[in-house]
């Protein structure tokens, strides 16, 4: 394992801890996601997916596995923010 792999693994451990704290906050109160941008959450999900593909191609499986939780969280954040946005639009059209 080279220095770049070790740096990516360390960064992914820190990122995993951060995402677990975000997940905990979202599980306690899903309204936290109301302010999230649909486009921003989708682009974050797409970027992390790109990193995951890169980790796979570089055969850095530790970062790949650690990043899966992050990938799932941002996909869920995208789905919830999209659902909230669609509900808001529906409510506005019914008024």
pLDDT per residue as tens digits for the range 23-53? 898 888 878 877 788 999 999 999 999 999 9
Cβ partners under 8 Å of residue 67, min gap 6:
12, 15, 16, 48, 51, 52, 55
pLDDT at 19: 92
pLDDT at 95: 67
pLDDT at 60: 92
pLDDT at 36: 85
- Count the helices and strands in the chain (H runs, E runs): 3, 0
Give the global pTM.
0.83
Token pair 């693994």 in the structure block, residue: 9
For the chain, the average pLDDT equals: 90
The count of other CB atoms within 10 Å of the CB of residue 93 is: 7
pLDDT at 4: 87
Domain ranges of the chain: 31-95
Cβ partners under 8 Å of residue 16, min gap 6:
66, 67, 69, 70
């Amino acid at each position: 394992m080279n220095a770049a792999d070790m740096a990516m693994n360390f960064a992914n451990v820190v990122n995993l801890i951060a995402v677990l704290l975000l997940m905990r906050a979202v599980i306690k109160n899903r309204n936290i996601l109301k302010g999230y941008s649909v486009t921003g959450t989708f682009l974050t999900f797409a970027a992390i997916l790109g990193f995951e593909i890169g980790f796979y191609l570089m055969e850095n499986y530790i970062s790949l596995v650690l990043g899966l939780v992050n990938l799932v969280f941002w996909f869920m954040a995208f789905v919830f923010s999209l659902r909230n946005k669609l509900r808001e639009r529906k409510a506005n059209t019914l008024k």
